[in-house]
Amino acid sequence: MKFVAGEFDVAVIGAGHAGIEAGLAAARLGCKTGVFTINNDAVGNCPCNPSIGGTAKGHLVREIDALGGEMGKAADECFLQIRMLNRGKGPAVHSLRAQIDRRKYSDRMKHTLELQENLELRQAEITDLQKTDDGRWMLTTRLEAQYFAKTVVLATGTYLGGKIYVGDVSYESGPDGMFPSKFLPDALEKMGMNIRRFKTGTPARVLKSSICFDDLEEQCGDEPIVPFSYDTENPGENKVKCYVSWTNDQTKQIILDNIHRSPMYSGKIEGIGPRYCPSIEDKIVRFADKQRHQLFIEPCGLNTEEMYLQGMSSSLPEDVQTAFYHSIKGLEHCVVMRPAYAIEYYCADPIQMNRTLEFRDFDGLYGAGQFNGSSGYEEAAAQGLVAGINAALKVLDREPLVLDRSGSYIGTLIDDLVTKGCNDPYRMMTSRSEYRLILRQDNADTRLTPIGRKIGLINDDRWERFQRKQQMMKNELERVRKTVIAPSEQLNAILRDKNTSEVNTGIRLIDLLKRPELSYDALQAIDTTRPTINANIFEQVEVEIKYEGYIKRQLTIIDQVRRLETKLLPNDIDYFRIEGLRLEAREKLNKVRPENIGQASRISGVSPADISVLVIYLSTLRHPQQDEEVHV
């Protein structure tokens, strides 16, 4: 018998990385929040690689933290090793990556939810979701309990209709052997939501003592450690090493001899897999000319002997997996504790959503994470934070949060999803942004902390520290502009050593720093007035100085684009009635229903000529014509 078990302002379905951020944000904004998960022990689970960050993903974590989210703080508390990737490249692509203790991270996030005021964590499978006559949402559990909520965030990850594949064997399951969400997909389809099947995979875990590390390349963490969170003052130390190995001709032959046994190639898997994180069999087939493929052997935690084989996800049968693992240096005698598997699941087409992540046709219903067709913990957490904020702001009758793509990678991620859609699991990369030099991870707080403060997720203490940092940056920029370094043999020795021209007159410190060969570190000996401040401030100041011209050009472009964003498009436009638009443009515009001219310009299939037609059309709205159709 069904019974009413509770009422919430915001209900979050799922407690993975998206659900955690959504629930915490809504509760911290003062909304009574319920977070529902199939298993409380799987809160914040990392069923794939136990790591946070990476190329572009580290940017997302910094931005989540700058807005007042939780992922960066948790990663700093639970890391085993932290490294800054891409140091040999420009500052726009420098990205933090941390190998984390998987169980510690999950426990830490679960406890955070349990301690959060205004939040209730419930173990329950949601089987039905319906809109009631009074405008609320009704959630029904497997045990026939009913909950009511003003807004709902769907953050179901890979649980929604989950199905595991290993060779010829397949069965209904969520990740890591958890129960799947079996009935909710039918409820969503019944509502009229467009959902589809995607697929992802994860590598095997092997016993540490069965690995021979003698000839493997070691990867150590960075010293000193750079943390993810702007709140972390003492990040601790690296605790483990990671290792690198390579596949070989024997590995390749074993996989090719058994490729017909892979459900990906036998046709059993219908879901679309991630383009940028393919399985090892997919790599072997797609990159047939490549002699070898890299894999990383990484620990899952301090209190477990499981090691993760990054880069080796597979859905081949268990016996084939064991054979090709044993062909790899260091893994010749490895014991497979958990075989690799592929998982197929339902997700929504994100084109159905606005940039607030609210469904256009379902008032008060939001999507986040892999449910929106993305891949990755960081992409999920970023969407969860925005969806949770907006679900709460709707309840509070406040203006929604819309992050534009010129101001953050989070804005780029969401704009890509809801404007362009995705035909395979979406992964954030620095190349997806037109404004990489502006959207660096080192300045995420400068860009987004004022927004987090305005929303209400940045407390007084952190805001005061942020303002002090901004003042110190301003002071340091002023200092390097005014400081003149006298010519000397010591200075010229430094310049000769760095292969840059000597000086015979006084030179401003800022002009020295503009030289690509020089840095704060190189000039330390002659920079006698340098203050004792956080190294991050010197890093940001140096980037701003060296790339001043490029940054100014990008800011000019951003201003131009933002002018397009102010040209709002009414939501009820019938694009098929606007003469002058090409047929493809009419179809795409009617499907996406862009909010403004800027967003319309980013839709695949909408040309500059179509945008000109829309601009003219907007002008006619201010001066209505007699005709029903607009002729241009």
pLDDT tens profile 200-225:
999 999 999 999 999 899 999 999 99
Query: Which pLDDT value is given to residue 625?
Result: 46
Tokens of 453: 């403060």
Look at residues 549, 578, 603 and tell me which one is the last residue of a structural domain: 549
Q: What are phi and psi of 224, to 5 degrees?
A: -75, 160
Confidence class for position 565, pLDDT limits 50, 70, 90: confident
Residues 262, 182: one domain? no
Q: Are residues 537 and 572 in the same domain?
A: no
- Determine the angle formed by the axes of helices 57-67 and 444-455, rounding to 10 degrees: 40
369 and 308 assigned to the same domain: no
pLDDT at residue 186 in the model: 97
What string of H, E and C letters represents the secondary structure of 315-330? CCCHHHHHHHHCCCCC
What is the reported pLDDT for 47?
A: 93
Q: Are residues 375 and 272 in the same domain?
A: no
Q: Tell me how far CA of residue 50 lies from CA of 16, 301, 307, in angstroms.
A: 13, 8, 10
Domain boundary among 277, 309, 344: 344
Same domain, 249 and 123: no
Given a cut of 80, whether residue 393 has pLDDT beyond it is yes
Which residue among 319, 344, 369 closes a domain? Answer: 344
Average pLDDT over residues 291-307: 97
Indicate if 380 and 475 belong to the same structural domain.
no
Quick check: 304 pLDDT over 80?
Answer: yes
- Residue at 339 is within a domain: yes
Other CB atoms within 10 Å distance of the CB of residue 214: 7
Q: What is the CATH number of the domain that holds 531?
A: 1.10.10.1800
Residue 221, in any domain of the structure: yes
On whether residue 213 sits in a domain, the answer given is yes
**What's the rounded mean pLDDT across residues 456-481?**
96
Whether residues 405 and 481 share a domain: the answer is no
- Average predicted confidence (pLDDT) for the chain: 93
Judged against a pLDDT cut of 50, whether residue 352 lies above it is answered with yes
SS3 category, 428? coil
**Count of Cβ atoms closer than 10 Å to residue 142 Cβ:** 15
What mean pLDDT comes out for the span 339-346?
A: 96
Res. 629 pLDDT band, cuts 50 70 90 = very low
Mean pLDDT, to the nearest integer, of 65-75?
98
Whichever domain contains 292, its CATH number is 2.40.30.260
- 190 and 50 share one domain: yes
Same-domain pairing of 30 and 164: yes
Question: What CATH number is attached to the domain comprising 578?
Answer: 1.10.150.570
pLDDT at 628: 38
Number of Cβ atoms within 10 Å of the Cβ of 136? 19
| 239 shares its domain with 286 | yes
Please measure the distance between the N-terminal and C-terminal CA atoms of the chain and give it in whole angstroms.
62
Using 50, 70 and 90 to split pLDDT, how confident is the model at 197? very high
Mean per-residue pLDDT, 275-295: 89
pLDDT the model gives residue 348 = 97
Query: What is the DSSP code string of 338-368?
Result: E--EEEEEEEE-GGGB-TTSBBTTSTTEEE-
Q: Is the pLDDT of residue 377 over 70?
A: yes
Nearest to 463, CA basis, from 448, 443, 477: 448
> What does the pLDDT read at residue 114?
98
Q: Where are the beta strands (DSSP E) in 493-532?
A: 507-508
What pLDDT sits at residue 626? Answer: 38
Domain co-membership, 135 together with 19: yes
Tokens representing 431 are: 């190349």
- Containing domain of residue 420, as a range? 3-197+350-450
Q: What is the pLDDT of residue 624?
A: 52
Residue at 458 is within a domain: no
Q: Any idea which of 90-104, 362-376, 552-566 has the lowest mean pLDDT? A: 552-566
- 557 lies in some domain: no
Q: pLDDT value at position 188?
A: 98
Domain-embedded: residue 463? no
pLDDT higher than threshold 80 for residue 631: no
**What is the identity of the amino acid at 22?**
A
> Is the predicted pLDDT of residue 273 greater than 80, yes or no?
no
CB 268 within 8 A of CB 169: no
Does residue 325 fall inside a structural domain? yes
Residues 488 and 445 both lie in one domain? no
CA quadruple 622, 623, 626, 632: dihedral, nearest 10: -90
What CATH code is carried by the domain that includes residue 183?
A: 3.50.50.60
Q: Stretch 79-95: mean pLDDT, rounded?
A: 93
Q: Give the span between the Cα atoms of 442 and 94, in whole angstroms.
A: 9
By C-alpha distance, which of 514, 522, 531 is closest to 490? 522
Each residue's pLDDT tens digit, 115-167: 999 999 999 999 999 999 999 999 999 999 999 999 999 999 999 999 999 99
Cα separation, 536 vs 62, in Å, equals: 13
Is 455 a domain residue?
no
Q: Rounded to an integer, what distance in angstroms lies between the CA atom of residue 579 and that of residue 592?
A: 19
Q: What is the mean pLDDT of residues 347-365?
A: 97
Lay out the sheet containing 95-100: strands in order across.
Answer: 51-53, 95-100, 79-85
pLDDT at 632 > cutoff 50: no
> What pairs with residue 426 in β-bridges?
374
pLDDT number for residue 362: 97
Count structural domains, the chain: 4
Dihedral of CA atoms 39, 44, 47, 49 in degrees, nearest 10, equals -170
For residue 527, pLDDT beyond 80:
yes
pTM confidence score: 0.93
